[in-house]
């Protein structure tokens, strides 16, 4: 099941209940998503570190213009991950950083 939720307007009671129920549902493994062994989980973490990932991510609050928010919403359900990668690339681009100062 997939649902778009507008967090700017807050959650409805129905949405809160759906999220609560989803949290309580058991994980169901299948051939596309088998359970991982402890060794596989360790390797997965190692691969993330090699790619430059961190084990601990910090949550930050950003204020976006209405135009930027609209464009971000168009990125779809994975928009936070896309925005994170965009910000990472922008911060690694010295010219872009200087243009924004």
- pLDDT-derived band at 15, boundaries 50, 70, 90: confident
Q: What is the pLDDT of residues 24-65, one digit of tens each?
A: 999 888 888 889 888 887 777 665 555 555 556 677 888 889
Confidence of residue 8 (pLDDT cuts 50, 70, 90): confident
Q: Which of 7-21, 45-59, 69-83 has the lowest mean pLDDT?
A: 45-59
30 three-class SS: strand
- In whole angstroms, what is the distance from residue 14 CA to residue 63 CA? 27
Predicted pLDDT of residue 46: 62
Nearest to residue 57, comparing CAs of 68, 48, 46, 44? 48
- pLDDT for position 81: 82
What pairs with residue 30 in β-bridges?
33
d(CA 101, CA 93) in angstroms, rounded, equals 13
Sign of CA dihedral 2, 9, 20, 72: positive
């Amino acid at each position: 099941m997939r649902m778009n939720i507008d967090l700017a307007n807050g959650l409805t009671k129905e949405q809160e209940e759906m999220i609560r129920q989803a949290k309580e549902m058991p994980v169901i493994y299948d051939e596309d998503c088998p359970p991982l062994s402890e060794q596989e989980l360790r390797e997965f973490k190692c691969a993330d570190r090699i790619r430059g990932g961190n084990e601990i991510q910090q949550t930050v609050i950003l204020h976006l213009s209405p135009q930027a928010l609209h464009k971000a919403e168009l990125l779809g359900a994975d928009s936070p991950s896309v925005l994170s990668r965009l910000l990472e690339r922008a911060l690694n681009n010295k010219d872009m950083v200087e243009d924004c100062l």
